[in-house]
Amino acid sequence: MMFARLLSPYRCPPMKILVANWKMELGVRESVALARGVVRGLRGLKEVPHVYLAPSHPALTDVAKVLGRSRVLLAAQDVFGEVQGAYTGFVSAKQIKEVGAGAVIIGHSERRMFAGETDADVARKFAQAVEHHLDPIVCVGEPAAVRENGEALAYVHDQLDAILASADVSKRRRLIVAYEPIWAIGSGVTPTIHDVREMHRAIRERFEEAGMERVSVLYGGSVNSENVYEFVSDSEVDGVLVGGASTRLNSLMELIGVVSEVS
Q: Catalytic site residues?
A: 108, 180
Nearest to 134 by CA among 193, 93, 165, 81: 93
Q: Which letter, b or e, does each residue of 2-28 get, where b requires 16 or more Cβ atoms within 10 Å of its Cβ?
A: eebeeebeeeebeebbbbbbbbebbee
Query: Which amino acid makes up residue 158?
Result: D
Quick one: which of 66, 69, 61 has its CA closest to 97? Answer: 61
Q: How far is CA 16 from CA 21, 46, 58, 80, in A?
A: 16, 14, 28, 28
